[in-house]
Amino acid sequence: MTLNAIGYMIYLPITVFITIVVGRSFHKNGIHYIKSILPQKGFAEPLNNLLLIGYYLVNIGYAFISIKNWIHIASTHQLIEEVSLRAAYIILLLTIMHYINIASIALWNYYKNNHQININ
């Protein structure tokens, strides 16, 4: 078994685990934020679920696609570096997506409140 294969077997479970744990936390706690901004009955839950599904698809998909770009790993030291670097990319992607979602919802709420849009 090559060191690349060992790296894949270490990297994929770590990134999938991180993605699922963070996603569940966002889903559980984010619903309160969405409900405060979108008081329409029956709209917040589906939106929260849709955000969770999109979040999982993008991040887990990125984790699998990023394997294609791995260099050939020749040593254990290089294996640890590559797994750490790729896991850091996933964590960075999660952070960026979270802030984009929060900023989008906040901007939409600001626009809605300042321009008196009637959304039913």
Tens digits of per-residue pLDDT, 47-101?
889 989 988 998 888 888 888 888 899 999 999 999 999 889 888 888 888 888 7
Counting the structural domains of the chain, the total is 1
User: How far is 56 from 26, CA to CA, in rounded Å?
Assistant: 11
Within-domain flag for 70: yes
Q: Is residue 117 scored above 70 in pLDDT?
A: no
| Domain ranges, residue 11 | 3-115
Is residue 97 assigned to a domain? yes
Q: Nearest to residue 47, comparing CAs of 58, 33, 61?
A: 33
pTM for this predicted structure: 0.76
Indicate whether 19 belongs to any domain: yes
Asked whether residue 120 is domain-assigned, the answer is no
- CA 46 vs CA 6, 41, 101: distances in Å: 39, 11, 15
Which residue's structure tokens are 């030291």? 77
- For residue 65, being part of any structural domain is answered with yes
pLDDT band for position 7 (cuts 50, 70, 90): very high
